[in-house]
């Protein structure tokens, strides 16, 4: 939310939607199109009052009023009835969600959308961790992970390692240092996964970014699901179970987070995966349901990955 003092207008933005409400006016604007209000915004005792139902519903939220005079605002979940992308996305990001402060591995979007969590995701996770400060930055980063990502760099490393003669390889291993570590790590993963490299590492993080983008307000729920869709197709193409995909993700994590204590972190994340695989919460399906792999992918309706990528051109 921002305030234009000269025009006495409140500007509220979420994803691609921008709403403008002017003090004393019963006409609001959504993406510059006028909409009539039942009540005008006003200022009293230095506080600005806005019609909460109007704002919430314009952003696709459901507003409920209880006899106890409590207003409940929640995401319209109806779109989830015809798609299973939320199940894929939640599973793909659950290992990381379980390690994230205030994270909930059963919750699409990692956590509840309250002011504190939104600020933390915007400022710490996206801005500081990924240099993402806008919707455009987020879309580009997801595009980059899908098209190239760290897997492309891993495969380039593999080409370099394969180009070494036996004498060069022996010399580098004998000398030790970063080149030796690269050879050992790369050969072990290449032998295990072949051309798949560390693909799941990138695809899992696409799911994470889409959900962070949704919670931070850069994306709607539909848009976040649409951005996960190509990652799900690629994951299903290269792997056949959550055990296999999670192991590839963990190998990718260890490859890029290589340092003295990475083995402890790797084992901690593997332990989390095994716990979540066996555990279920009452009323919530298991996070890792292998029946998804034998079920057709059901896209979200009304928006597509291609449409969202068009914003970058």
Q: Which domains does the chain have, with CATH numbers?
A: 2-75 (3.30.457.10), 79-312 (no CATH)
Instruction: Give per-residue burial for 208-227: e unless 16+ CB within 10 Å, then b.
Output: bbbbbbbbbbbbbbbbbbbb
Q: What is the pLDDT of residue 237?
A: 95
Q: What is the pLDDT of residue 115?
A: 75
DSSP single-letter state for residue 126: I
Mean pLDDT, the chain cut into blocks of 10 residues (313 residues total): 92 93 96 94 94 91 90 84 91 81 68 79 91 95 94 90 89 83 86 94 95 92 95 96 94 78 79 80 74 93 93 87
Cα-Cα-Cα-Cα torsion 302, 307, 309, 310, nearest 10 degrees, comes to: -150
Q: What is the pLDDT of residue 101?
A: 66
Q: What is the pLDDT of residue 79?
A: 82
Query: How far is residue 10's CA from residue 16's CA, in Å, rounded to a whole number?
Result: 17
């Amino acid at each position: 939310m921002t305030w234009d003092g000269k025009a006495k207008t409140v500007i509220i933005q979420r994803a691609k939607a921008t709403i403008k409400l002017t003090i004393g006016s019963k006409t609001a604007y959504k993406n510059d199109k006028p909409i009539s209000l039942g009540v005008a915004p006003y200022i009293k005792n230095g506080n600005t009052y806005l019609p909460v139902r109007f704002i919430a519903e314009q952003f696709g939220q459901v507003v409920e009023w209880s006899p106890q005079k409590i207003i409940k605002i929640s995401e319209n979940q109806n779109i989830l009835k015809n798609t299973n992308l939320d199940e894929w996305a939640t599973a793909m990001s659950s290992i990381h969600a379980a390690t994230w402060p205030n994270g909930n591995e059963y919750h699409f979007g990692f956590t509840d959308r309250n002011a504190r969590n939104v600020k933390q995701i915007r400022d710490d996770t996206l801005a500081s961790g990924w240099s993402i400060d806008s919707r455009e930055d987020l879309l580009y980063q997801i595009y980059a992970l899908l098209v190239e990502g760290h897997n492309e760099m891993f495969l380039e490393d593999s080409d370099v390692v394969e180009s070494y003669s036996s004498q060069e390889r022996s010399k580098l291993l004998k000398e030790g240092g970063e080149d030796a570590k690269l050879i050992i790590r790369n050969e072990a993963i290449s032998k295990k996964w072949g051309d798949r490299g560390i693909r799941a590492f990138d695809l899992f993080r696409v799911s994470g970014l889409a959900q962070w983008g949704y919670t931070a307000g850069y994306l709607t729920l539909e848009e976040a699901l649409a951005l996960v869709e190509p990652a799900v197709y690629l994951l299903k193409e290269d792997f056949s179970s959550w055990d296999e995909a999670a192991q590839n993700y963990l190998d990718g994590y260890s490859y890029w987070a290589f340092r003295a204590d990475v083995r402890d972190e790797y084992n901690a994340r593997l332990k989390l995966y095994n716990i979540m695989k066996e555990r279920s919460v009452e009323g919530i399906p298991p996070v890792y349901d292998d029946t998804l792999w034998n079920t057709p992918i059901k896209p979200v309706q009304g928006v597509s990955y291609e449409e969202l990528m068009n914003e970058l051109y």
